Structure 1
Amino acid sequence: MSRMLRDRRIVLVLCCVAVVCAAALLTPLPSPRSIQAWAEGAGPYFPVMFFLAHTLITIAPVPRTVFTVASGLLFGPVVGLAVAVIASTLSASAAFLLVRAAGRERVAPYLTHPAVRIVDERLRRRGWLAVGALRLIAFAPFSVVNYSCALSSIRFWPYLGATVVGILPGTAATVVLADALTGGTHPVMVGVSIICIAGGMLGLLIDQRWKPVEPIPVAARD
């Protein structure tokens, strides 16, 4: 009897999945251009609300790529880039200050992501240059870099400057490419996106090849 009940539940779940998939395929989805037109007509408060949501939500370990793509799709390359960069910068600043205020002893046990150890090692050896490289490479989640930097000895202003420089190329490329889905992107903006991607790749190459000089121990100097 229990086996028959279990089989019925499996069939019911499969039927529900089939209905959802069929609805998704048959329901007409809005085009990227119509989504952007809707955002333009949503009123002056919509960009502000999106900006606040972007800033506050990405303080938590939530991928910011979704917001970056949405910025380009909803607001175009200029406003979208401004929203994405400023919101990401404020989010990174807030995460840094909150974690540093909480203290390493309280926060460190919760940082179990595998990339944390690599990030800590790079920060120890390269300082603020590592922050810019980590933002360019983006191998570690945005929030992990924020939290790891807060737990390191790096000062706030170098961290903030390196964050802005590091996120700019990738963010600009993502926003412009997202706006290109609407079909109204100027070719110059596509060129800017390509340049930003090339800048990110160059930063990756430099980071991989650059080997910092290890400090000479005090005993060896004597």
Structure 2
Amino acid sequence: MRRHPLASSAGLLALGLLVLLGVAFMPTPEIETVRRQVADSGVWGPATYLALMVGTTQVPVPRTIWTVSAGVIFGSLIGCLLAIGGMALSAALSMMVVRWMAGPAVRRAEDNDRVRLVQEILSERGWTTVLGLRMIPVIPFSLLNYACGLSRIPMLPCLAATVAGSIPLTVVAVVAADAVVADGDPRVVLIGVVVGLTGLVIAGREVLGIQRQLASQGPTVDRNR
């Protein structure tokens, strides 16, 4: 049976909350000790974090792991900057690699009228669709990067929508992780639920719009073949 996207999002948010609570109560080294050691490493700490995050998120590894880690290790401010910067670098790298490797195949596929129509619709509506999808935590980060890379959405608008759509949940996750390990208020996670639901509404509206355009233009395309 097919699960509703809202149920999947709620399940993922609940899992993230359980991870945060687990981090708070598991027997681990004092967080201040870990943060002091990372600070003593100078620029190597943030550089290592960025390299590992960008490298591992080129494959379907949950980005949430790195987002939460940023809050735990670096705190709210530096953690947000690193998580957002790493996310932008990872998305840019993925899209450039996919466009370089798969570009010729995509251009050949556009000989099909239906494929060309989908590409044209995505080019027209693309950045708002990307914006909404980036706000839904259940959609894998790397897979959406691949999809953006295969589309004809210009790189800069696509990256801008990626950053704008990812910032709310990223900030919530980093601040929540910092709050939990630093004995703060973990109720900030509830904000993530609101952001996720907002993303579902935006993305759902865009998907319905694309489906309506396909339904209205599809018969015309078929007749012209």
Q: TM-score range by the shorter chain?
A: 0.5 to 0.7
- With a CA cutoff of 8 Å and minimum separation of 6, indicate the structure with the bigger relative contact order: 2
**Runs of 4+ residues over 6 Å off in structure 1:** none
Q: Superposed, which structure 2 residues align to 1:1-222 within 5 Å?
A: 29-104=28-103, 123=122, 126-183=125-182, 185=184, 194-195=190-191, 197-209=193-205, 211-212=208-209, 214=213, 217=217
TM-score (norm 2): 0.66
**Partners of 2:187 and 2:38 in 1: CA distance:** 22
Cα distance between partner residues in 2 of 1:28 and 1:209: 45
Kindly, what percent of the aligned residue pairs are identical?
33
Q: Aligned partners of 2:61 and 2:27: how far apart in 1? A: 29
Q: CA-to-partner distance for each residue in 1:122-150, whole Å, 9 max, x for gaps?
A: 95784221111111113321110011111
Q: Is the 8 A contact 1:169 1:197 kept in 2?
A: no
* Displacement after TM superposition at 1:164 (Å): 0.5
Per-residue deviation, residues 171-207 of structure 1 (Å, max 9, x unmatched): 111101111122265x6x975x654542332232233
Q: Which runs of 5+ in 2 are unaligned?
A: 1-25, 107-118, 221-225
2:7 corresponds in structure 1 to: none
Secondary structure of the residue aligned to 1:154 is coil
CA contact (8 A) 1:169 1:200 kept: no
CA RMSD in angstroms comes to 3.2
Q: What is the CA–CA distance in structure 1 between the aligned matches of 2:145 and 2:173, rounded to whole Å?
A: 20
Q: CA deviation at 1:78?
A: 0.5
Asked whether the 8 Å contact 1:137–1:203 carries over to 2, the reply is yes
Larger radius of gyration: 1
Structure 2: distance between partners of 1:40 and 1:182: 17
Q: Hey, what's the Cα distance between the residues in 2 that align with 1:65 and 1:196? A: 12
Give how far 1:152 is off: 1.4
Q: Please give the secondary structure, in 2, of the residue aligned with 1:103.
A: helix
Q: TM-score, normalised by structure 1?
A: 0.67
Whether the 8 Å contact between 1:89 and 1:163 is mirrored in structure 2 is yes
* Unpaired segments ≥5 residues, structure 1: 1-26, 108-119
Query: 2 CA distance for matches of 1:128 and 1:135?
Result: 10
**Deviations along 1:69-104, whole A, 9 cap, x unmatched?**
111111111100000001110110011001100125
